[in-house]
Structure 1
C-alpha cells in the first residue's frame, strides 16, 4: 500500500511502511510553500489617521488601502509599526523585502528605494498660528511673505518632509525654524504654549483628525490659508530594492484597479 501526498509545489509518493517519515515530509512541504510564496514586511509609522496601531492591530485609512492592494496583488504581507528613522534605515539597508505606505517620492529617496504608483493625493497644507502673533501674521498676504518675516519663528516636526518645495524653503530659513517636536500634536502644543515656535504647517488630514473633538481649537490656534501654498503631493508605497520587479508590477496593477483616477 502506498500513500500520495500533495503539496502545492510538489508531489511525493512513499510506502506506508515509512509513515514515520511523515513529519519530515510535512516540514518539506511547508518549506516549499514558503519558497513559492515569499512575502513582504510592511512597516508603517505612527501617523493617524493615515497609519497607526490600535490594540496591537494596524489601523488607518492608508493601512486599509494598503491591505487591499496587497490582497488584490496576491502578495503575502505582515504588518508592524516601526519608528520613522528605523523604517528608512531598514529600506536603505535592503536586507529584506520591505514596503512602507504613505511616503512622498523625493529624489534622494529614489536612490535607494522603489516607489509604487500613487495611493493617495494630499490636499494643500494649511498654517496654524498662535493668537499672540495673529496681528503680525495678518500683515502677510502670501506664504512667501510670511516665511520672510524675521519676527516669526516656524515650527516643524523633526525628520519629516513637507514636500520638496516647502522643504527647500524650510532649509533656507533654518535660522528661524525650530524642529524639536517629534509629532504634529507636540508641535501644536509648542506653538500654543510659546515654546520656541509661533506658527506651523499642518496637513489637512492631520488637522481634521487631531481637531475632531476640538483639540486644536481648544489650544487657541488659528488656521490660515494661502493661495501660494504648494499643491498637495502624491503619496506612494516606498519599498526596498529587495522587492522584486514582478512583485512591484503586481502591486501597481492592483493600485491601477483601485485608484484609476490617481494613475491615468
Structure 2
C-alpha cells in the first residue's frame, strides 16, 4: 500500500523582503520549506524569482497588519502546501517623544508595530485549526521590551506588548498543539546598521565600539543567526517549547553596566 506523498510545509514571513526577514526566508527555503513573503511593496524582490518559478515561494503585497492581507497570505500558503509556521517579523522603526507627539500619535505607532502580530497570529491560528496541524508562531521582539532605550518609547512599548501576546497565545492555543514563542533581539547587523558607514569612518568606528561594549560577545549579531533561531522554533526540535521569549542578543540583556566593573588582566 503506497502512502500519499507528504505535503511540503509552508511558513509565512512578514517583512520578509530584506534584512532579518530575508535571512529568515532564505534559511527556510534552504530547509526545503515553501515560504510566503508579506511585504508592503514589491520592490527589490527579484532574489525570490527562482523560488517562485519552482512553486516554493510567493509574495503577498500589502500591510501585514491588515486582516485581509493575512488572509491572502494563508490562501497563498495553502496553494504551496500545508501551512505550519508563521513568523511575525514586520516592524516600524520610528521614534517619538510622548510629550511632543501626544498620546494618540504614540498609540498609533505602538499599534502599527503590534497589529501585524495580532493579524498574523489570528490568521495562523485559524488556519492551523482548520487544517488540524500543530503549527508554530514566532514573534520577533527586541531587548527593548525589557530594557528600554531612551527616545524609543513607542517601539519598546509595542515589543513589550508583543511578548505579553506571545505568552497569552501560547496559553490560549496550546491545547490545540499550537506553539507560540518570541525572539528578543539585540543589535543585528542589517542594512540599517551598515548604512551608518555612509556617515564616515569616525562615526562608524564609534558605532562599532558601542556594539562591542553593549554585547558581551563583543559584536552585533548577524541576520543569519536570527534565522537559525527562527528555524529551530519552527521545527520539531523545539516541540516542547512554547510561551518562551528567547534572547538572541549576544548577552546584551544579561549585562549590567556598573562603574565598578573590572576587566581581567
TM over 0.5: no
Q: Over alpha carbons, which structure has the higher Rg?
A: 1
Higher percent of residues as helix? 2
TM-score (norm 2): 0.27
With normalisation by structure 1, the TM-score equals 0.27
| Structure with bigger RCO (C-alpha 8 Å, 6+ apart) | 1
Flag the structure with higher strand content: 1
